Each structure stands twice: as C-alpha cells, then as structure tokens.
Amino acid sequence: MKIALAQLNYYIGDFEGNLTRILDAVHQATEKESDLVVFSELSICGYPPLDLLEREDFTATCNRYVEKLAESIGKEIGVLIGGPEFNTGKEGKLLFNSVFFLQGGKIQQVFRKTLLPTYDIFDEYRYFEPNHEFNILEFKGKRLAVTICEDLWDEQPFESEFSRSRLYTTNPLEELNRFKPDMIINLAASPFSHRKLDLKQSIFTNKAARYGLPVLYCNQVGAHTELIFEGGSLAINNNGEVVRRLDFFQEDFDVIDLEMLVDGKPVSSKGEIPDRIEMIADALVCGIRDYFGKMNFKRATLGLSGGIDSAVTLVLAAQALGPENMHVLLLPSQYSSDHSIDDSVLLAQNLGVRYSILPIEKVFNQFRETLQPLFGNLPEDIAEENIQARIRSTLLMALSNKFENILLNTSNKSETAVGYGTLYGDMSGGLSVLGDVYKTDVYSLAQYFNRDGKVIPNNIITKPPSAELRPGQKDTDSLPPYDVLDRILEDYIEKQLQPEKVAALGFDLELVRRIIGMVDQNEYKRYQSPPILRISSKAFGVGRRLPLVAKY
C-alpha cells in the first residue's frame, strides 16, 4: 500500500482556498499511484477555528465542503480529511472533532477524537464531545488505526512539578489495538514548541515500538496569529525508527510505501532535528510571513534602536517579508549614543532596508514645556523616560497609518515578563516577534544570523543592553544579569515552580521573590500587549491565563 502525506498550510475559514490545496494534493497523490492520501486535523477549515465553531453556519459550511471534496474522489484512491462534525445525539457537546474517510464519491466512514486537550493554548472540550466508540479502517486488505493528534499523547505528563504521571485515563490506541491493526495513522495540528520536538517525536516512536506497528503522522504547517505549526510529518517503522521526515515550516508532500515500514527495511530519514536556535529562527520567520500573508499586509516597520532586540527582529522580518518591504525609523534622543545610530545605519545597509532618522529631542522638550506647570520642579524620573518611548511609538504609528507599514513589536520575553517596557510606547505594535524569546536566546539568534558573516554589527551584540532613556542607563540597573534572570523566569513561568524551589536550584531567595513579584505585578501590561508569536509551551497570551486582579 502506498500512502501520501500531504503537509499543507491552511487558512482558517478559507474553504475555497483550502479545498484547492487539498484537491491539488489528491491529484498529486493519484499521479504517484497512491492508495490513500492523509491530511491534518481539521484541515477542511484550518486549525484552530476557536469560537467560529460556535456558529452553526461555520460547521455546516465545513460539512458542505467535505461532501464537495468527497464528490471529487473516485474509487482509485481514498482520502482521510479532518473537519468538525455535528453531534446528532441528544446529549453532550454539539460537535465532534472528526476525520472523514472519503472514497467513491462519498463519505464512507468517520473517526472521532477521544482525547480533547484543555491545557496550554488548547481548549477543545469547549467545543467538542469526546469519542467513546472505537473502530478501524479496513482498506485494500489492511487494517488502519486512525487517530487524531492528542489520541497518541495519552501518557503525556504536565510540565509542572504539580502533576500526575499520566494526563489521561483513556488510552485510545489500546482500544484500537484490540482490532489488530496493521498500522497507525495520526492526523494532527500540533504547534511548535522549541523544547518539545524531541518529546513529540519520542511519543510516536515509542508507540510504534510498543505496539510493533508503523506510524504515519501528518501535521499541519504554517502559522495562525500567534500559533506556529512546524510540520515535520513522520513515517516511523514498526521498530520505532524514523524512516521519513517531511520538511519543517513549509508545505511538503511524500508518498510512503508500507513495505518501507516493516522489519529489515533501511532507515532513510531526511536527517536529525535541526539545532534549537535554527528552529526558533525558522519558526519566527514563518510566523511573520503567514501573519502578513494571511492578513493581506505587505509592509512592516519598527523602531531600530541600536539594541539587540530590534536588530534581531529586523533580520527576521527582512527574511520573512523581503528587505524591500521594510521601512524602519531611527529615533534618537539626547541620551542616545552615537554608536547606537551608527550601528543601526550599518545594520539597515547590510540588509538593504530603507531607514529614516527622526530625532525626538525637540518633541520631548515640547512635552517637558507643556507639562512644566503640572510637574513644576519635581526631579525627572520614569514619567519622562516613558514619554520618550511614547513619542517613538507615535511616530512609528504615524508611518504605519500613512503608508500601511504594520508596526512590529520588538520586546523580548525577559523584559515582557518583568514589565520592563512602556505601555503605549515600546510595547506597541501589531505583532510581537520576540515576546516568547528570552534575552539569552535573542543573543543566540544574533550569533546564528552572523554565522556566515557580519549581518548584525558586532557592537550591537557585545555592548551592555540599555534603553537609553537617561544618562548612563543600563538594563542591569533594574535587573539581574540576563543569564540569571532567564533561568529564574523559565523555572517560574514554564516549570511553574514556587519561589523556594526556584531558589533551591542555586539562586538567592530574595532575588527570586523580587523577580517573581515583578512578573505577577505586570500582568496588566501583558494583557494589553499585541499577539505574541508562540515558540514555547508557556507563551504569554492565550496559553497562560491568569486573573488580572488577584492578591495571590
């Protein structure tokens, strides 16, 4: 049996566009004499459709397009396609998360998702009823266990210390194994997380080895707002070895012969999982490219400060959109160093990006003069620092409004976590590129971009980080060194450790409490920040939901 994996980049709610992509892949699979073509989870509408699923007309349209697709499928090939399905029973949620098997012009069989994740960015039980009935696909002499994403993740533990050994009480594959399948097929929409790629792969390889069955895993690729899907679909033999891996962060297609996935056949993978920093870079480029492409935006801007964050953001954006679609502003104040301007100009020239220099000192002095009757002779403090950040934001948004250049936010996760940023100032933007990237990884990204030559001027990488909002200011005036700060933040945010347990890992308890206090006190700022491209298991935004007003 020959099975095609169609790893596609869908657009949520673009039924005609999605159908065209799907039919193109079916045609390609037919030309290659495939018996079956497999798509990803909820592929007919794109994942995740969120509360669009609460609209009856949306699911009805999904069903209509599944039927339209079915009418195009002859007897020579079968199709496994994901989509929502109405629950016709009298009890339970209104929908199932389903996979439809199409052949001979109609829907021949339906498979439903059993395990509905309700952690991190997932909230599937909000919409779907879990499956309780198990069946197998008998096709061309083979018995196929069809599963949907989380149905193979039943042994997944939570990342926090406060967890059970298993997340679920039901094991769908154990139920399906009673039918004595010949292989496992998994249709997925599994978003990228830079520290989970090995774990994700091990889930599929362990299942294959445990049950002695080949596994085919078809994942969605591309980005939807903050979520980025890496693709990386897999063909795994019955020994638990990766035989084929589709490309990361781009559409791909491959035909797998079931004979390749049995004992004694050579392993011919496309290589190991790339370096973590390389994967983060590719994910962020994908996130920017798809956000702009799917929103029909063409051009972008940002404030190029001479610092590492804006430099890395510019490199990513230039790769995603093309340097000809970037117009950046240099907005020096009287506190900006000459090398910050020179470094920014050199970076823009290295990338071939258009730039303009608009000094803000005159505007800042006008603000001071206007506010003098109110402020009197009070010493300058954070109020004046924030005015400078907001002046810059106003100028950037003026460029955005006049020429339709979408403003990219350049704040990193370390600063966003502790509130080291100005609301309506440097926290402004239509999309946050680095909001889920810790500062230490921002430096690693800069080194990665310079691996073949000096794209980012060395001085930007080596100089002490500073907001340059007052004379001699450095980030370390307010924060511990970033290598210390980031380890504390990751233990608290990603691993959800309490202060005493973070300190036990080698940190001063009072410092830990101060940092955690800053994280908790600045939730209100993050609540008003732009969508953040997610690359971790605990990005700020939809995947980390905390009360805005709370004492704990």
Q: What residues are labeled active site?
A: 41, 113, 149
Residue in 312, 304, 542 with CA at minimum distance from that of residue 426:
304
Would you state the structure tokens that stand for residue 65, as one six-digit string? Answer: 């397009």
Within 10 A of 72 (CB to CB), how many other CB atoms are there? Answer: 14
- What residue ranges in 120-258 does DSSP mark as E strands? 137-139, 142-148, 183-188, 215-219, 221-224, 227-230, 234-236, 242-245, 252-257
Gap between the Cα atoms of 22 and 70, Å rounded: 11
Q: Which amino acid is at 122?
A: F
How many CA atoms within 13 Å lie on the side-chain side of 60? 3
Task: Decide if 423 contacts 528 (C-beta within 8 A).
Answer: yes
Residue 505 token pair: 């890992």
Between CA 369 and CA 374 the distance in angstroms is 10
The DSSP output letter for 112 is: E
Coil/strand/helix, residue 410 = coil
**Tokens 């590129």 found at:** 433
Element (H, E) at 387: helix 382-403
Two structure tokens written together for 305: 């400060």
